[in-house]
Chain A
């Protein structure tokens, strides 16, 4: 008899467990619109992503003060994917199926985006991805508000090769060994070749994440630069590895006037944790700098400082990307009159938002933005002095023209293409 009760008990416990887990899945009544925030708050990426979570909370709070969207308040749903890529996919699924969010703002690394991509496509969710990335992608369910390579890397190299940037003849491509630097450098190599710089004058080097001992590589760069031609470094070194890299650079006596380094992953936030003295004069290319003097930007910075309650906190490019993305989404929802993903997506195309740096950002049908490109020199106080800006906005290009396989692909999510990677339209044009 004892055995039997235990049996029953076990079964009951199992059933209860399953039921309890299932019960949490039921969606609650919809008197708010839920907005998912999918940024790592712990682990290696917390260093960059936590700020973006705060920006989202600020933007949502701000919008709610203005009365929300469609007469409903927005409700942020924050989860922590803990810099763990499979966990990103799990959390994305949780946000969409369990929480029923209307839209998600999130991810930083490419691998996290790749990890959640199938989930968003399967469940027809909507993701705003705010970080500069390698391109070569256009998903129906993702809006890319960061820079594509042609909105950051190519203008930066143009600057280095031009008279103002010192007419560099030798280029060092330093990067962390992952897909963004690899792809960017592949595009740049082919671009440099087209500009008449031979492969012998290009040095390419990859280091692991969080690489902290740069002695050898900086010495190699010095060596490479001592061949009589003006040399410049293009850095796609990721986050954590930058601090020791610049420290080593300064200590080995490399000055920006001799070998300028232009970086694509170093912004105000990264510099805030750094003694910037030795870095002065090195460059970065972004679509946004905190130092840009416009009323919109001043307002944004003021709101940010008030929200985070710290006057010392800086703003940076991915924050502006979230700002633009969020505003566009709000406008698109108002226009569509619903948060339904398909309707909002249609309303997104051509949606315009004023950039914080002046000019207007436009969402294109390839799900990438048109944005201006700025090049700045690092100043003593960790801010940037803008030394070059494109005359007009640059259209984000999902598929690079400098990679043969992707040059033939087109991303256009409107009729007759309706496709992220096609060589010809899916439907015959009328």
Chain B
């Protein structure tokens, strides 16, 4: 099988080189070509394992329509019409699928999705087709296409493609594509017959640390039984050396990566805990419904996104921007209602707020379950939050986490500003420090209480928007974060936002540094034990507030 595939590719690559050279080989191609129409029909009917062979034969025809057909196959847009078993290309259209004749491109009318069945593909077929198509789209004006082409070439490592690849390399402007092309070039060189070229391939990889190049180099060092895959000792030596230097460079970068992961976990904890730092830390309410405020925020995001999906799908990228204030409002309103309706009767009895808010949390959970159903709800990520920044060093910084880190810092700053620089913040601090005095000074303590609780809940709602990007949106969402949030607030020191910040970050980083070494569960247990022991040393947390108010 591999041999057969190889020969097909060879033939095809050969043809492509001639195409690009504008050689007059068309008559030969026609001569070799089978009837494309019948091949397409065969592609539709062939069982999965046989399809690859048909694809190779289609490519061998050299017909320009092949690219469209294969692209449709890879994109899963190729269908068989049930009425007459004809293989067609289907494009989404209003009312179902617009069918196109794969060879002529002629429109065959719109049908419902039940009238056609998709031509099955699987990972290995698509991967092989993409590899074969590499050459066809290498010069495409669309960078995305070129990137795919380069990836295809990386996989096929077709020797005959080297000249074409070098042409492309010379012209390429896009950094990502350039990077992929360089990788493909090295990969092709590594497969070369000549040891010298292979050695140059190894050297070309020496500055990189990405996983693909490490895969390529490690492959040279594999043994099949007693035979080295790489016969030349020099090349092996160079590969080993390059790998070793990659590893040593990586070691440092891995620590950076762990730190990044730790900070990202810390910022998630910070977001979840910040609202609690206000309701619990500042107001002394043991708010067991805090997790549900987070959940409400996440569900608000869901509702907003549903609205966008049905009303203005093209503006979907903005859905989170709308969701943020909406989630803040929803959670804050629920928070104010909770405070006015229940918690205000319980001031001075902090432990009893625990019981009442626990009851509220049960009710909120069940309410959401009744309205939205018990299953997860789909919250999408806008385009700009997907994917990752692949640094040259081979470490991955995912965008969604990056934005969440930035976002949590912004929220922290905003809350600090509100507390320190606004009249409301001043009143709030006054009320928490000395309620009687504040009232005597004419501060409407009841309203300040409600506003404070609303603020804390609203921040929890905002956290829900962020968490909806990385976690399930289900009625249980809040429960998952409540214990951690309390740990963060207590560890950092109740009543202090900086404490919450320091607590969240140190817990996140320590957890992530422990995880590769101890495993996820043991790491977390160790962190919990550390918190328990730490509280013995500093019974009021990392940043203890001093003064009279604390004692009561």
Per the CB under 8 Å rule, do A and B touch in the complex? yes
On A, residues with C-beta under 8 Å from B are: 41-44, 46-48, 50-51, 163-166, 177, 205-208, 210-213, 215-217, 219-220, 222-223, 225-229, 240, 243-244, 247-248, 250-253, 256-257, 260, 269-270, 272-275, 277-278, 281, 283, 293, 377, 379-380, 385-388
Q: Which listed residue, B127, B399, B512, touches A216 by the CB 8 Å rule?
A: B512
Q: Is B244 part of the contact surface with A, judged by Cβ < 8 Å?
A: no
Task: State whether A51 and B49 are in contact (beta carbons under 8 Å apart), knowing that A164-B124, A244-B470, A385-B120 are contacts in the complex.
Answer: no
Chain A residues with CB under 8 A of B365: 42
Cβ-defined contact, B376 with A226, below 8 A = no
Q: In angstroms, how far is the closest chain B Cβ from the Cβ of A75? A: 24
Cβ-defined contact, B123 with A260, below 8 A = yes
Task: State whether A281 and B520 are in contact (beta carbons under 8 Å apart), knowing that A215-B261, A243-B376, A379-B76 are contacts in the complex.
Answer: no
Q: Is B521 part of the contact surface with A, judged by Cβ < 8 Å?
A: yes
Query: CB-nearest residue of chain A relative to B525?
Result: A208
Cβ-defined contact, A387 with B374, below 8 A = no
Query: CB-nearest residue of chain A relative to B472?
Result: A243
Cβ-defined contact, A272 with B76, below 8 A = no
Cβ-defined contact, A212 with B470, below 8 A = yes
Q: Which listed residue, A228, A256, A293, touches B123 by the CB 8 Å rule?
A: A256
Give the distance in Å from the alpha carbon of A227 to the alpha carbon of B217 in the complex.
9
Cβ-defined contact, A252 with B471, below 8 A = no
Cβ-defined contact, A252 with B396, below 8 A = yes
Listed by A's residue number, 24 A-B pairs whose Cβ atoms lie within 8 Å are A42-B365, A47-B374, A47-B475, A50-B375, A164-B48, A206-B519, A206-B521, A212-B480, A219-B396, A220-B516, A222-B211, A222-B396, A226-B218, A228-B219, A251-B387, A251-B388, A251-B400, A253-B388, A257-B123, A273-B377, A273-B474, A377-B123, A387-B121, A388-B122
Q: Name B256-302 residues within 8 Å CB distance of A.
A: 257-258, 261, 264-265, 268
Q: Which listed residue, A166, A208, A215, A229, touches B401 by the CB 8 Å rule?
A: A215
Give the distance in Å from the alpha carbon of A210 to the alpha carbon of B467 in the complex.
14
The CB with the most chain B CB atoms within 10 A, among A206, A273, A387, is that of A273
Chain B residues with CB under 8 A of A260: 123
Chain B residues with CB under 8 A of A273: 375-378, 472-474
Give the distance in Å from the alpha carbon of A179 to the alpha carbon of B398 in the complex.
32
Chain A residues with CB under 8 A of B219: 228
Cβ-defined contact, A163 with B124, below 8 A = yes
Q: Is B118 part of the contact surface with A, judged by Cβ < 8 Å?
A: yes
Cβ-defined contact, B521 with A216, below 8 A = no
Chain A residues with CB under 8 A of B380: 275
Give the distance in Å from the alpha carbon of A251 to the alpha carbon of B387 in the complex.
4
Cβ-defined contact, A272 with B376, below 8 A = yes
Q: Which listed residue, B211, B373, B470, touches A247 by the CB 8 Å rule?
A: B470
Chain B residues with CB under 8 A of A217: 520
Chain A residues with CB under 8 A of B255: none
Chain A residues with CB under 8 A of B212: 226
Give the distance in Å from the alpha carbon of A196 to the alpha carbon of B343 in the complex.
64
Chain B residues with CB under 8 A of A48: 375
Give the distance in Å from the alpha carbon of A274 to the alpha carbon of B524 in the complex.
27
Cβ-defined contact, B49 with A207, below 8 A = no
Chain A residues with CB under 8 A of B67: none
Give the distance in Å from the alpha carbon of A222 to the alpha carbon of B516 in the complex.
14
Q: In angstroms, how far is the closest chain B Cβ from the Cβ of A300? A: 15
Chain B residues with CB under 8 A of A225: 211, 215
Cβ-defined contact, A247 with B400, below 8 A = yes
Cβ-defined contact, B378 with A166, below 8 A = no
On B, residues with C-beta under 8 Å from A are: 1, 48-49, 76, 117-118, 120-124, 126-127, 130, 211-212, 214-219, 221-222, 257-258, 261, 264-265, 268, 365-366, 369, 373-381, 386-388, 390, 396, 398-401, 470-476, 479-480, 512, 515-516, 519-521, 524
Cβ-defined contact, A50 with B123, below 8 A = no
Give the distance in Å from the alpha carbon of A203 to the alpha carbon of B518 in the complex.
15
Chain A residues with CB under 8 A of B215: 225-228
Chain B residues with CB under 8 A of A46: 369, 374, 475-476
Cβ-defined contact, B265 with A213, below 8 A = yes
Chain A residues with CB under 8 A of B124: 163-166
Give the distance in Å from the alpha carbon of A308 to the alpha carbon of B396 in the complex.
43
Chain B residues with CB under 8 A of A42: 365-366, 369
The CB with the most chain B CB atoms within 10 A, among A48, A283, A293, A377, is that of A377
Chain A residues with CB under 8 A of B264: 215
Cβ-defined contact, B400 with A216, below 8 A = no
Query: CB-nearest residue of chain A relative to B222?
Result: A228
Give the distance in Å from the alpha carbon of A50 to the alpha carbon of B515 in the complex.
34
Query: CB-nearest residue of chain A relative to B211?
Result: A226
Chain B residues with CB under 8 A of A213: 261, 265, 268, 520
Cβ-defined contact, A386 with B470, below 8 A = no
Task: State whether A240 and B476 are in contact (beta carbons under 8 Å apart), knowing that A164-B48, A253-B387 are contacts in the complex.
Answer: yes
Q: In angstroms, how far is the closest chain B Cβ from the Cβ of A49? A: 8
The CB with the most chain A CB atoms within 10 A, among B76, B222, B396, is that of B396
Cβ-defined contact, B222 with A275, below 8 A = no
The CB with the most chain B CB atoms within 10 A, among A43, A216, A257, A277, is that of A216
Cβ-defined contact, A248 with B398, below 8 A = yes
Give the distance in Å from the alpha carbon of A274 to the alpha carbon of B217 in the complex.
37
Q: In angstroms, how far is the closest chain A Cβ from the Cβ of B518? A: 11
Chain A residues with CB under 8 A of B399: 251
Chain B residues with CB under 8 A of A247: 381, 400, 470
Cβ-defined contact, A177 with B366, below 8 A = no
Chain B residues with CB under 8 A of A252: 388, 396, 398
The CB with the most chain B CB atoms within 10 A, among A208, A247, A272, A380, is that of A247
Query: CB-nearest residue of chain B relative to A385?
Result: B120
Give the distance in Å from the alpha carbon of A47 to the alpha carbon of B257 in the complex.
34
Chain A residues with CB under 8 A of B373: 50
Q: In angstroms, how far is the closest chain A Cβ from the Cβ of B4? A: 12
Give the distance in Å from the alpha carbon of A272 to the alpha carbon of B480 in the complex.
21
Chain A residues with CB under 8 A of B257: 219
Task: State whether A250 and B520 are in contact (beta carbons under 8 Å apart), knowing that A219-B396, A273-B375, A275-B379 are contacts in the complex.
Answer: no
Which 9 pairs, one residue from A and one from B, show the smallest C-beta to C-beta distance?
A273-B376, A228-B218, A228-B219, A251-B398, A226-B211, A387-B122, A215-B261, A46-B374, A257-B127
Chain A residues with CB under 8 A of B378: 272-275
Chain B residues with CB under 8 A of A277: 386
Cβ-defined contact, B374 with A50, below 8 A = yes
Q: Which listed residue, B1, B375, B401, touches A269 by the CB 8 Å rule?
A: B375
Cβ-defined contact, B472 with A293, below 8 A = no
Cβ-defined contact, A243 with B512, below 8 A = no
Q: In angstroms, how far is the closest chain A Cβ from the Cβ of B373? A: 7
Give the distance in Å from the alpha carbon of A199 to the alpha carbon of B240 in the complex.
24
Query: CB-nearest residue of chain B relative to A40?
Result: B374
Task: State whether A207 and B520 are in contact (beta carbons under 8 Å apart), knowing that A228-B215, A251-B400, A278-B386 are contacts in the complex.
Answer: yes
Chain B residues with CB under 8 A of A253: 387-388, 390, 396
Give the distance in Å from the alpha carbon of A155 to the alpha carbon of B160 in the complex.
39
Q: In angstroms, how far is the closest chain A Cβ from the Cβ of B512? A: 6
Excluding A213-B261, A253-B388, 11 further A-B contacts by CB distance (< 8 Å) are: A50-B375, A51-B375, A164-B49, A177-B521, A206-B519, A215-B261, A225-B215, A240-B472, A251-B387, A252-B398, A385-B118
Q: Which listed residue, B49, B386, B400, B401, touches A163 by the CB 8 Å rule?
A: B49
Give the distance in Å from the alpha carbon of A211 to the alpha carbon of B369 in the complex.
22
Chain A residues with CB under 8 A of B474: 47, 240, 273
Query: CB-nearest residue of chain A relative to B379?
Result: A275
Query: CB-nearest residue of chain B relative to A280?
Result: B76
Chain B residues with CB under 8 A of A212: 470-471, 480
Give the distance in Å from the alpha carbon of A54 to the alpha carbon of B169 in the complex.
59
Chain B residues with CB under 8 A of A164: 48-49, 122, 124
Q: In angstroms, how far is the closest chain A Cβ from the Cβ of B520? A: 5
Q: In angstroms, how far is the closest chain B Cβ from the Cβ of A301? A: 12
The CB with the most chain A CB atoms within 10 A, among B472, B479, B516, is that of B472
Give the distance in Å from the alpha carbon of A47 to the alpha carbon of B126 in the complex.
34
Chain B residues with CB under 8 A of A380: 76
Cβ-defined contact, A166 with B476, below 8 A = no
